[in-house]
Amino acid sequence: MKLFEVTPLDRQIYEQELKDFLPDKIIDIHTHVWKRSIRGTEEQTNGKKRTVSWPAMVAAEDPVEDLQETYRLMFPGKQVSALMFASCHDRRTLQACNDYVADCSRRTGFPALYYARPEQSADEIEMQIRAGGFLGLKSYLDLSPAYLPEPEIRVFDFFPPHQLERLNALGGIMMLHLPRPGRLRDPVNLAQILEIKQRYPNILLIVAHIGRAYCEADVGNAFSVLQDSADLLFDFSANCCQYAMERLLDAVGPGRIMFGSDLPILRMRTKRIVENDTYINCVPPGLYGDVSQDRHMREVSEADGKKLTFFMYEELLAFKRASQRAGLSRADLDGVFYGNSRRILDQALKNLYGERAS
């Protein structure tokens, strides 16, 4: 049984719009892998949930075999690899999830990041990175102290300075998911990005999801504030906002932008719209259970549902439009979808493991 259906509409979009646009070799710089039997279910997590709920509707798990099958189904004829990390909101199972990712990395050759808890010491962080062959760190806002309301969480609440000092010494990757309702435009977020770049210049800092700028209103003056951070990196995972992509290309150029997916959620069939500065995923009726309680989800009619393709393709189509407006060359696109990520991964590998670098 196939992991998911690829419809004639999906194949038409890929063949006519994306196949020739994409290079033959692709690196997905932002993917999650986990097994439900290791992580547990959303209902089993402890503590107050401070994240959106809709991603859990798309996939209960994403073992690495499913990730590879997703690439095979969505990108026929392409060679796709990934930078992987866990997906886990429960401290009790996070180490087991990291162990699984390390095992997947050894088996597939895909590089990986260690999913860190803020209470871990710098020595433990380094030990775990080296033991698992990881290239750096990923963390998430819901691991910050439980007493903090979600709107008040800051980057240093889940990426504490002692961990960043050690990551700077190692020269590893930091995958940053910005907190706070203001997302990319939030002045606290912007100040802390600048502080990280100033205090920890050897960290290879990737701002995920274009700073979660999923709507035009999320961009604000961020790029003028960040314009002097000459080596700040961005991925556009799970982002369909053409405006944010265009402003990003204008601000930093294609050399510091990388394709990311945020799989498995990009397997979702959706058309993302914006209402009142809030993104809404329009989905086929009944496909993802009861979505009525999630303000980011909305079912469409049966007829309109048949016109929806993958979130993955919607993201890529948005970037294609942005790249055409920016006049990107074939070489530029090869960089965005492969070369830029290859450079960063090789640099982290060299920094951390020396002679093991390719």
Predicted confidence band of residue 53 (pLDDT cuts 50, 70, 90): confident
pLDDT, position 61: 92
pLDDT, position 189: 98
pLDDT, position 357: 46
Distance between CA atoms of 328 and 253, rounded to whole angstroms?
9
Give the pLDDT mean for 280-303. Answer: 94
Distance between CA atoms of 230 and 215, rounded to whole angstroms?
24
Quickly tell me which residue has 């991603």 as its tokens: 55
**Following DSSP, what letter does each residue of 32-50 receive, concatenated?**
E-B-HHHH--GGG--S---
Beta carbons of 214 and 239 less than 8 angstroms apart: yes
Distance between CA atoms of 281 and 170, rounded to whole angstroms?
39
Distance between CA atoms of 335 and 121, rounded to whole angstroms?
36
Helix axes 122-132, 161-170, angle to 10 degrees: 40
Give the pLDDT mean for 185-194. Answer: 97
Distance between CA atoms of 19 and 268, rounded to whole angstroms?
20
**Following DSSP, what letter does each residue of 272-294 receive, concatenated?**
EEEETTEEEEEE-TTTTS--TT-
3-state secondary structure of 259: coil
Give the pLDDT mean for 222-242. Answer: 94
Distance between CA atoms of 265 and 54, rounded to whole angstroms?
9
pLDDT in tens, 199-208: 999 999 999 9
Predicted confidence band of residue 46 (pLDDT cuts 50, 70, 90): very low
Give the pLDDT mean for 322-345. Answer: 98
Does residue 42 register a pLDDT over 90?
no
Does residue 34 register a pLDDT over 90?
yes
Predicted confidence band of residue 211 (pLDDT cuts 50, 70, 90): very high
Predicted confidence band of residue 2 (pLDDT cuts 50, 70, 90): confident
Does residue 165 register a pLDDT over 90?
yes
Does residue 144 register a pLDDT over 50?
yes
Report the mean per-residue pLDDT for the chain. 94
Could you tell me what percent of the chain has a pLDDT over 70? 96
pTM of the model as a whole? 0.95
Predicted confidence band of residue 91 (pLDDT cuts 50, 70, 90): confident
Q: How far is CA 203 from the centre of its chain?
A: 18
More reliable by pLDDT, 240 or 53: 240
Distance between CA atoms of 208 and 223, rounded to whole angstroms?
15
pLDDT, position 228: 80
The widest CA-to-CA distance across the chain, in whole angstroms, is 57
3-state secondary structure of 26: strand
Predicted confidence band of residue 43 (pLDDT cuts 50, 70, 90): very low
pLDDT in tens, 301-321: 999 999 999 999 999 999 999
Predicted confidence band of residue 356 (pLDDT cuts 50, 70, 90): low
Beta carbons of 255 and 299 less than 8 angstroms apart: no
pLDDT in tens, 57-77: 999 999 999 999 999 999 999
Give the pLDDT mean for 270-274. Answer: 96
DSSP code of residue 181 = T
Distance between CA atoms of 180 and 163, rounded to whole angstroms?
21
Does residue 269 register a pLDDT over 60?
yes
pLDDT, position 198: 95
Cβ-based neighbour number of residue 248 at 10 Å: 28
Predicted confidence band of residue 41 (pLDDT cuts 50, 70, 90): low
Could you tell me what percent of the chain has a pLDDT over 90? 88
Does residue 355 register a pLDDT over 70?
no
